[in-house]
Chains A and B, each alone.
Chain A
Amino acid sequence: MSTSEDKGLLRFLTCGSVDDGKSTLIGRLLHDSRAILADTLQAIERTSARRGMEAIDLSLLTDGLQAEREQGITIDVAYRYFSSGRRKFIIADAPGHEQYTRNMVTAASTADLAIILIDARCGVLTQTRRHAQLAALLGIPQLVVAVNKMDLVDFAQPVFERIRDDFLAFAAGAGIGQAQFVPMSALRGDMVVDRGEHLHWYDGPTLMEMLESAPAAAAPHAHPFRFPVQWVCRPQDAANPALHDYRGFMGRVEAGRVAVGDAVSVLPSGLRTRVKAIEIGGEALVQAGAEQSIALLLDDDIDVSRGDMIVAPEQPPQVLRQITADLCWLSDLPMDRARTYLIRHTTREVRAKLVDIEHRLDVNTLERMPAERLVMNDIARVRFKLAHPVFADPYVLNRSTGAFVVIDDSTYNTVAAGMIVADADAAA
């Protein structure tokens, strides 16, 4: 693949209800893009035959763990890779079972695009609405609605159009942004990678064409500069006097751009300085943009540590000692209101105490319900009080500086995922 053809990387997830053909679709994408190699295919053929199936069961590609094979279900998010020749793809494969909201949230957190599968015989279901709403809540910028199993409705155009109109009617009411629609048969292969022979009336792009041309929307270059400091490099190499005063602040640009000579400010101190140099691995760059891992050298000798943030001085993030957030509880131990938790936000870790549960979201209806406690898979709007401030943007504006995870400080397990909502009252 030459660099000029390299369309970067696209991360997407597939969702839908049980038995809508999600595993078959992933199998089809991998198979028709020739990402499945002969020995893997032979292993699947053997297993399919052993289970008495006539055709190859492409869903066997995606269920990897012993328990999954035993129970015939998918229990965790898996990541899969394929390439179309124009682009590399990472699929976050999240299980469709209703009790696994947390897995969908996990898969959605890094996705640029979501494919929502609908069984053409069933149309828009509760599960479809739920997944579309979760995708919107997680800020996935692009939605593709794949109307699958068209072979079971005689490839009828009116069926596709009715489902599309149903979806659009509900999406308009639920504040879900634009979506693309494609009719397909993952089983037979129509409109997935190849156009097939049964959907002549459809003249839009195939699913693969949509994936190839979708923008990798994750890089927020147009946003104000945000650089959480991960690591401070002070070589102090006795043998090399040139390095004696070297102080590089290392991290990943989470938003915006930075160039040598730019004015920046450092949080929490608020001190201002200029960028003296930008490096990767000791080699100089003139500028850097979102998602690049770099080292920044500054004009002035300012004290900066891991957990601090270097930002655009005219458009700083909010400095918050209280945060209001949409929280998805991930742990099978319910949230304990009496305890303090750790919050990891960018490279910062702070103690946090729950102040209030404003409401719990019914993910099926988006209705706001009162709640006293949170259990696994609950999504709720909560307010935390923090022991130290975090430097945050609302999640809708910045998926990096707006997101955090909650860690149980006795087990050190990750127990919740949070998305900060804009809240004027929350400022310190």
Chain B
Amino acid sequence: MNAPLPTLRDDTRLSHLDWLEAEAIHIMREVAGQCARPALLFSGGKDSVCLLRIAEKAFRPGRFPFPLLHIDTGHNYREVIEFRDRRAAELGERLIVRAVEDSIHRGSVVLKHADESRNRHQSVTLLEAIEEFGFDGCIGGARRDEEKARAKERIMSFRDEFGQWDPKNQRPELWNLYNARTHVGEHVRAFPISNWTELDVWQYIERERLALPTIYFAHEREVVLRNGLPVPVNVPLASGELTSPPRPGEQIVVRRVRFRTVGDISCTAPVESDADTVARIVIETASTALTERGATRLDDQTGDASMEQRKREGYF
């Protein structure tokens, strides 16, 4: 017959958030311990906000053993850029910003047309920054639950001199023994919150009372409905310039929306929502019928393997 079910030891088990947090701290310290020149990718988005909290828990009262790095496409929401700068200043940590615009001037990024999404071109600017500073480890906030190709990626993910990810040639990763060794010119991408889901991120933000850019919370916004998604229009950039004009024939409407994911203006759409507090977002996330990317990304729907392809080219 079946063996009796073993009893739970409630006194000794970490809650799932505590366990995920402890694992993420461990991974971040391994990057610091194994890499000579790491950097932490900080975009101002919710996942990288969690990374900053993990870094505080990992290294305080010391300073972070890495600078923060942001690859700015120039098409970021003003609120997010302001938040990014404020947060870095509050933490007293060094923030490095490198711009896709500069890569365009250098000629390393060539746009097919001026209003093309700059999202995938971030890879070029990122690799240029990695070369400029000699970074050998880049900590990022990617999660395996985001996308099928991510589900296959290692926590310590090896990249060659071209920043390429080769899914067939990944280092096996066993126990909690991570291998961040690289030769000159190569680097690893480290993902401390690989094992987190979108809901875990929101629960963590709620528990730790983390501040976020305001656009994560429900607000009124001018949008057009494009392929059924509310696409923001006439968005003011940090520079004051307006971007994302409506296309001919599109009608501007005002909708109550929030962003589930924040990226380049040209490729992230908000969702219609009344959730204006973290607690309400947690409830909405727990009961949503759409994936984060399915609901919000305009660039991931072009093919079954678009993320895999971009990661092979050095995308985060």
A contact set with B: CB distance below 8 Å: 1, 3, 6-9, 37-40, 43, 47, 64-67, 69, 75-81, 83, 87-88, 90, 102-103, 105-106, 109-110, 142, 178-181, 204-205, 210, 213-216, 219, 221, 230-231, 233-235, 237, 243, 246, 248, 250-252, 280-282, 289-293, 306, 330, 344-347, 399-400, 403-405, 407, 412-414, 417
Contact = CB atoms under 8 A, between A and B. Distances in A.
Given A81-B197, A109-B174, A230-B33, A6 B15 contact: yes
A67 B170 CA distance: 14
Contact of B32 (A180, A231, A330, A412): A231
Main secondary structure of the interface of B (DSSP, over half): loop
Given A65-B149, A66-B305, A105 B12 contact: no
A160 B6 CA distance: 23
A405 to B, nearest CB: 5
Contact of B16 (A9, A213, A221, A231): A9
B122 to A, nearest CB: 22
Interface string B167-205: 110111111110101110000000000110101100100
Contacts of B30: 230, 347
Nearest to B287: A34
B71 interface: no
Given A37-B290, A306-B33, A76 B167 contact: yes
A183 B6 CA distance: 20
A66 B303 CA distance: 11
Contacts of B60: 281-282
A40 B291 contact: yes
A330 B172 contact: yes
B26 A412 contact: no
Interface string B297-316: 00000001100100000000
Given A7-B8, A37-B294, A230-B30, A65 B2 contact: no
Contacts of B175: 109-110, 399-400, 403, 405
B179 A250 contact: no
A74 B22 CA distance: 31
Interface stretch (B51-59, B125-133, B231-239, B243-251): B51-59
Given A79-B151, A412-B182, A414-B171, A246 B61 contact: yes
Given A219-B14, A293-B22, A412 B6 contact: no
